[in-house]
Amino acid sequence: MDPAGIYRTTYLDDMSIVRTKTQWTILISALILTVLAPFYLSKNLIDVMSLSCCILISTLGIQILTGYAGQISVGQAAFYGVGAYASAILVNDLGVPFIFSVFLSGLIAAAVGSAFGIPSLRLKGFYLVMATLAGQIIIIYLVSHMHFTGGMVGHKANYPSIGPLTFDTGPRLFWLNFSFLLLMTLMAKNIVRGRWGRAFIAVRDNDLAANVMGINVYRTKIFAFAVGCFFAGIGGSLAAHYTGMIHPTQFTLMDSIWYLGYIIIGGLSSITGCYFGVIFFVTIKEILTHLPVSAEMAQYILPITDVAFGVVIILILIFDPKGLNHRWELFKGYYRIWPLGYK
């Protein structure tokens, strides 16, 4: 849905992410506002936003895997953990520069993920759910019992530094995480609108037809899974250096479940949807955890968050399976012709 008067004459034009001058204006002003956020928002909010950036990167990964390629994974938190541990060990123990370790830990997460995914991805049906469930438990078991991961004590992760720059304050970490988020979003967007993205959608919708079209279904599924884990690894690596201390209990099965919830609520098969899902739930969680309630009620807050989360997932699945992103698209279509809408 484009406003009137926009004509596209080339394929390249038609595939562009940012299409109109208004979009450019909104995008640039939003970027400036976000980058300047540390100057006008409280420190706590910036902390939440920094961590949300890491979660969002990981959510982009599961969006590609589950939303686009249709493979359900319930191990995203574990692969996020693999990235976190890999990066912490690479930087702190082996002295690899941060900028290399981020991408290396992404690759390591992708490799570990593929090891769990390959057997089940050969099969039709939802075997990946079971394999990733197993992966979740096995990975967390390994990191909490291995010597070099620090076991149940956890592992330290230094503040990230690139060359002479050290990111050791809240705002600096936020800028680092946010720039990685932008980079990964661009990457995700490019993957899903290119050849691989179309292959993912074809495999999701009808793997037999995709096969007839000349797509190697097995390879496509594995690539989707590796990409999903790569994103998780990058997010995890940033999160590790952001929090400074990582521990096996940060990567639980329920966290993996939350990732699935983010994309359902935001809208499956949409990169923007990830943003909506994560922002929606982080906001709800922050509001619930900062409610001024008595100590007696406080113990019910976390369970209530879980219940609310599940209820929202089910309501969205039943009543509005396209998620928040679809609502956003409808709203855009509405304001473009406002006030001259027709019935």
Partner 1 sequence: MNVLMQALLDGICIGAIYGLGAMGLVVIQKSSGVFNLAQGMLMMVGGFIAGSLSVNMSLPMWAAAVLCMLAMALIGLIINFLVMRPLAGESPFTQIMATVGLMSILYGIVMAIWGTLPYIYPTEIIPIENIEIGVVLLSPSYLNGLIIAVVACIVLSLYYRKSREGTAMRATSEDEELAASVGIRVTKVLQLTWIIGSICAGLAGILFGMLGSVNYMMGEIGLMAIIPVFVFGGLESFVGALLAGFIVGVVNMLAGTYLEVTFPGITNVVPLVLMLTILIFKPYGLFGEERIERV
Please report how close the Cβ of residue 321 comes to partner 1 at its closest, in angstroms: 7
Please report how close the Cβ of residue 164 comes to partner 1 at its closest, in angstroms: 44
Element (H, E) at 245: strand 245-246
Please report how close the Cβ of residue 258 comes to partner 1 at its closest, in angstroms: 8
Handedness of CA 35, 266, 129, 254 (dihedral sign): positive
In this structure, are residues 221 and 64 in contact, taking their beta carbons and an 8 Å threshold? no
69 or 108, CB closer to partner 1? 69
Please report how close the Cβ of residue 96 comes to partner 1 at its closest, in angstroms: 29
61 or 261, CB closer to partner 1? 261
Q: Kindly list the distances between the CA atom of residue 85 and the CA atoms of 48, 138, 213, 238, in Å, as whole numbers in the listed order.
A: 21, 15, 40, 11
DSSP-derived secondary structure for 151-200: GGG-EE-PPPEETTEE--SHHHHHHHHHHHHHHHHHHHHHHHHSHHHHHH
Please report how close the Cβ of residue 135 comes to partner 1 at its closest, in angstroms: 8
Please report how close the Cβ of residue 305 comes to partner 1 at its closest, in angstroms: 7
45 or 133, CB closer to partner 1? 133
Please report how close the Cβ of residue 317 comes to partner 1 at its closest, in angstroms: 5
Spell out the residues 6+ positions from residue 65 whose beta carbon is closer than 8 angstroms to its own.
71, 73, 224, 225, 227, 228
In this structure, are residues 63 and 259 in contact, taking their beta carbons and an 8 Å threshold? no
18 or 130, CB closer to partner 1? 130
| Of 73, 219, 86, the residue nearest 135 (C-alpha) | 73
Q: Which long-range contacts (CB under 8 A, 24 or more apart) does 309-312 make?
A: 309/258, 309/261, 309/281, 310/261, 312/261, 312/265
| Cis status of the peptide bond prior to 321, with omega within 30 of 0 | no
Count how many Cα atoms sit within 13 Å of the Cα of residue 174 in the half-sphere of its side chain.
19
Residue with tokens 């941060």: 98
Please report how close the Cβ of residue 282 comes to partner 1 at its closest, in angstroms: 16
CB atoms within 10 A of CB 162: 12
| Of 56, 83, 55, 50, the residue nearest 226 (C-alpha) | 83
Dihedral in degrees, nearest 10, Cα atoms 260, 202, 328, 254: 0
98 or 281, CB closer to partner 1? 281
- Conformation bin of residue 70: beta by default, left when phi > 0, alpha when psi is -120 to 50: left
134 or 187, CB closer to partner 1? 134
- Site residues, partner 1 (CB under 8 A): 70, 72, 74, 116, 119-120, 122-127, 129-131, 133-134, 137-138, 141, 144-145, 207, 211, 217-218, 221, 253-254, 257-258, 260-261, 264, 299-300, 302-314, 317-318, 321
Please report how close the Cβ of residue 117 comes to partner 1 at its closest, in angstroms: 10
